[in-house]
Structure 1
Amino acid sequence: MDRSRALLALLSLLLLSRGAAAELALPSGLQLHGFASQGAVHTSSNRFHGDSPETSLDFTEIGLNASWRLSPRLLLAGQVLSRRAGDMSDGWPKVDFALADINLFMQDSHRAGMRLGRLKNRLGLYNETRDVPFTHPGIFLPQVVYFDKVRNLVLATDGIQLHGELYQPFGTLSATLATGRPVVDENVEAALLRGQIPGAIEPRENSWLASLWFHSPAERIKVGLSGAAIALRQDWNLTRAHPRIDLTYWIASAQYNAERWSLSTEYMGLPFRGRDFQPVRPDLNQTSEGYYAQLTYRLRQPLELMLRYEEGFANRDDRDGRTLERQTQGLIPEHAGSSRILSLGLRWDVSRHWMLRTEYQRHIGSFILSEIENPNLLEHDKHWDLFAVQAAFRF
């Protein structure tokens, strides 16, 4: 079965599942949900989710998920996702998550549990639900924090997670601690190595992830700190030692929700350590960072306006990228080390099941671009514009 037929099969299954959920009495505790979206992306230059300078339609997401509460102590849940995103993802259906959630103990004031399987990582405000278009603040998440170009590395983990909640009159405190194998693909390899060194990247050991959150009553205020420590190695035989990469990806998050508007801001730090790449590349010891401020305003039912400004840097000690350009003898231009993005978007909830979106972005720099889609860094344009529209359906 080729990829087009697989995509069609998943879409057909989504529609059939919607009909089954509407017409048949499902077993007690079983829920079925699904979504599908199609986007069109046009850029003034540079490729983003396909051949966007010529207007790309290669931005499609189809998901089918189920959850089954077998008992008060055990929940099974999973999702199959087909995601086409230009050259970064070909749309082949994959298991997005599949887990067993076990309640270890539960009281009125607190609860603790354990999850096993392929787990969505609780990182920042949006990572757990980043596959569902209806949960996004815009068509695209803030790219300087939620990089699409290395999406799979931080999206999910195959392992185990402990989670707990403490319920108090002033709000809810929740925490998670997880460990497991990260998911590494060619997008991660291209982003971390920039095509300079041959060979594949693989996990060196289990990743460790943790989060701590506070939610006020009715979730008017959300504050959180979350992070992941990821250890990788490269299969490269020019030296006796395998090159090593150590990443610490962490996000500080804050959100305020009023009746008609929400204000969100996040800061991401990404210390990067590269060892034993000699003689091709010197050891690296630098920290990437990204941050944004975002306002969503509900004009009137069913319209919502989004305004966001974000900045991201490959090396916070080299924000203008001049050192990077000098060290690479001009092979990596200075503007490839940073991105400054101003976004304006409009959401229209046509009905309970349908949503339409449009978004405009003004970019300065090309840090957020995928190296898979834009392999020649010297051809990146520093100043570029993006315009996108999206239609989404759910049941």
Structure 2
Amino acid sequence: MVKILVDGLMHVGDILIASSVLPVLKKAYPESQITYLTYGNLCAAAQMLEGVDDVYAYDYKSGGGFLQGIRVARELRKRHYDIGISLDPRERITLIKWGAGIPVRLSLERALGWNLGWERWFYTADLPLVGWDVTKHRMAESFQEILRRYFHDEEKTFIPGRFKPSAAEDVQAVKEMLAAACAGRAPGKKRIAFGVQTTMQYRDWPVEKFSALADRLVETYGADIVLTGIASHRERGVQIAAGMRHPEAVVDLIGKTSFLQLIALFREVDALVSLDTGSAHIAAAASCPVVTIFTFNSPEVYGAAVESSRTVSLHVPCSGKAICRRPGECKNSFCLDGITVAQVFQALTEVL
């Protein structure tokens, strides 16, 4: 049995994007055991990925982490991994894998659109991606392509990463939440979830446009509007409902679901309207149709890896992660404010 260590010290959305390497690995090594190394607070997401057999929690501490790195390397060495794959090869994790004595160490950083510096000397192969424009492909596709080339896998159909089936108790908990929230009302013809806030204000579509979109969905589809997010998003959810003509259609689940219940919830709704954040990729991995509203980021690169997905972006000339100056330096918010309710509604109509 081949033991493979995949590391991805990223945000949850990045982990789900990079999960596209898992189908390639399982095809190349059907009897493999794959361990995903990531931050402790992301282990639940990694453990749910189809193809992951185990997770290793790396509780990174900034500054003074040299001794910690040695400890982790020693622990990994005891596990005798055959292959180590870096999806985002930072300096410390590069040295940890080298110190763990993993004989085959692969770096996939070219799928991210950048090249390693001194770190490349600590990998047995820094995988190339010649003739492939990473700005014109979803990052999940770039990760899959680079690894397929390494294994001489001629498959051309993109296979997105997927979550394992939800546990029965999570499914039941979600069904009970929905039933309680909708008690006494006629069942909606559609259930449309909204992801209403990000950690970065310049990604947040105006509240009044969310309200207008919700009303249009209620009047067109008789939809229930399911608000999702963490507890700190509650105020925004309240504002959206307050601005609606049909606030009775709102199912407010903000702050009420665990991560695993959120996955189960996305399997119960007809679609998600999301800002450019991890929720879009969580829903995609749960096979939920997604419409993602993009501001400064590239939808071609960061779009959700699910067939029934759409992105809405104005594609302004200054957009793109590498060149956008972001608020504070840039006073022009057209990339956000210019996106209309009609554009998002049209994209959602297509996925429905």
TM-score category, normalised to shorter length: under 0.3
Q: 1 or 2, which has the higher helix percentage? A: 2
More strand by percentage: 1
TM-score (norm 1): 0.20
TM-score (normalizing by structure 2): 0.22
